[in-house]
Amino acid sequence: AERIIGSPILAFEKSKIDCETGEKILFSWWLAGRERPGERREETLVDILDEGDHIDVVMELLGVQEEDILLKMGKDKLTISANTLNKKYHEEISLPAEVNTGEFTKKYNNNILEVRLEKLTNCSLKTTGQR
């Protein structure tokens, strides 16, 4: 595989301690490029969904409590931060449209934060005819 595609498909490791059970494993293999058992990714997963009249921001926050989460909103930017003894998160998210900073809902369940932001409407912009 290294000769043909330039990277290995499988990775092999001899004699390892399983992080979950504490047992000694004589050998272990996994698909290369995938997360290995016991390894954690460091990047924060964030999805931004434009739903027409509102924007949903969904973010994975591992190891925090709801009271640790701080939201700061601008018309076109959302800042999410959380600080605990073990973890620190700080994400500045550019939004695809301007939002009403006073109209939002927040839910946090099973390490997933969901923020719904209402978009600003352009009702105040009217075109006037000239004679």
* pLDDT on residue 105: 94
Mean pLDDT score, 13-29: 65
Alpha helices in the chain (DSSP H): 2-5
| pLDDT band, very low/low/confident/very high, at 85 (cuts 50, 70, 90) | confident
CATH number for 46-119: choose from 3.20.20.70, 3.90.1200.10, 2.60.120.260, 2.60.40.790. Answer: 2.60.40.790
pLDDT reading at 3 higher than 50: yes
Distance, CA of 80 to chain centre: 10
What percentage of the chain has pLDDT greater than the value 90? Answer: 40
Rounded to 5°, the CA angle 8-13-19 comes to: 120
For residue 23, what are the contacts with CB-CB under 8 A and spacing of at least 6?
17
Mean pLDDT of the chain: 77
Other beta carbons within 10 Å of 124: 6
pLDDT tens-place string over residues 24-69: 766 555 555 544 444 444 578 899 999 989 999 999 998 889 999 9
**Both structure tokens of 14:** 């001899």
Contact 110/89 with Cβ under 8 angstroms?
A: no
What is the pTM for the complete model shown? 0.60
* pLDDT on residue 96: 92
For residue 126, what are the contacts with CB-CB under 8 A and spacing of at least 6?
none
Indicate the helix (H) or strand (E) that contains 86: none
